[in-house]
Structure 1
Amino acid sequence: MSEDADLIARLQDPARKDAAFRVLLEKYQQRLYWHIRRMVISHDDTDDVLQNTFIKVFRHIDNFKGQSKLYSWMYRIATNEALSYMKKRSQRMGITDEALREHLVDSLEADPYFDGDQAQLQLQRALAGLPDKQRQVFNLKYFEEMKYEEMSELLETSVGALKASYHLAVKKVESYLREINA
């Protein structure tokens, strides 16, 4: 039995669920935090989305059928929570999703949890202008160094489509960076 299969069995056992959930948090919290943080940008917003993600995981673990990896399932929950959060926030503010991302990147310099330099800020601005799919693929490949095959399972997309999305994202990021540094 794999490590995740054992963890899932414990999570689905009411007598061991709480202890197993602490193990799940320890194992996946940081990885999901950074995935969400790259989507919502703000540390405080990330904490909110991460908390909502783990609440949904806790409530719905009994429905997990094991047809994908545990992380893939949680990743999709986190992605959906982050996208939903951003959409609601942009609607509340009466601005587009892209304008919200730009606003959040602009506020990064004042974020005490952001320790990047000017180059990091420029990269974040470039990423804010990408379509969701390209930004997601770029983040997985560039920041998480994920292989296309793993991304394919995670995003339920062909390897060829992922390579094309990454290539387009890289070209757009390079173009943006050349333009602002010209």
Structure 2
Amino acid sequence: MTTDAATGDFRARLLAAFEASIAEDGYAKTTIADIVRRARTSRRTFYEHFSSKDECFMALLAEANADQVRSIAAAVDPEAPWQRQARQAIEAWIASGESRPDLTLSWIRDGPSLGAAGRDLTRESMEHFIDMVTALVDSAQFRAAGIGPVSRQRIIMLLGGLRELTAITVENGGTLSDITEEAVDATIALFTPR
């Protein structure tokens, strides 16, 4: 194994261990000792990759958001009717949240505790989601329906609403798939031409 591969492996193990700790104990109660124990490595290895628990959390969130953006974009068929594309995107959003409910909720609720760095990460992540939605809406099917370009403000309303609805649903012990129809209907309503 090369040094780069070993470094990537340790980093991946630390991130996976942190996510497992969040699922079991929550972000606030997770310690670096918990992370290294789960990752079966040392504090020294942790500090070779991250300067703090918060930096590790931000790396985990950044990777999770990038994965979510990629999975949503890949799930949408640009040749499908635009309403079907909206459904595909929402279903992919929900599937992503359901695959990592504890991390999803922790990102929404614990992310603000990261201060300025957390706000920067939130803005950066939102920009990636805005870019993805903008690209998805910039398709022949949307244009043929008279849709586009969709304003940045409208996309932010959609994403902010989905994010909060996701958090409330998970906090209340609900299943994200229960919100599918409402989320699809709201998305279509936001994008339907006047």
TM range (shorter): 0.3 to 0.5
Larger Rg: 2
- Structure-1-length-normalised TM-score: 0.34
Structure with more contact order per residue of length (Cα contacts < 8 Å, sep ≥ 6): 2
- Structure-2-length-normalised TM-score: 0.32
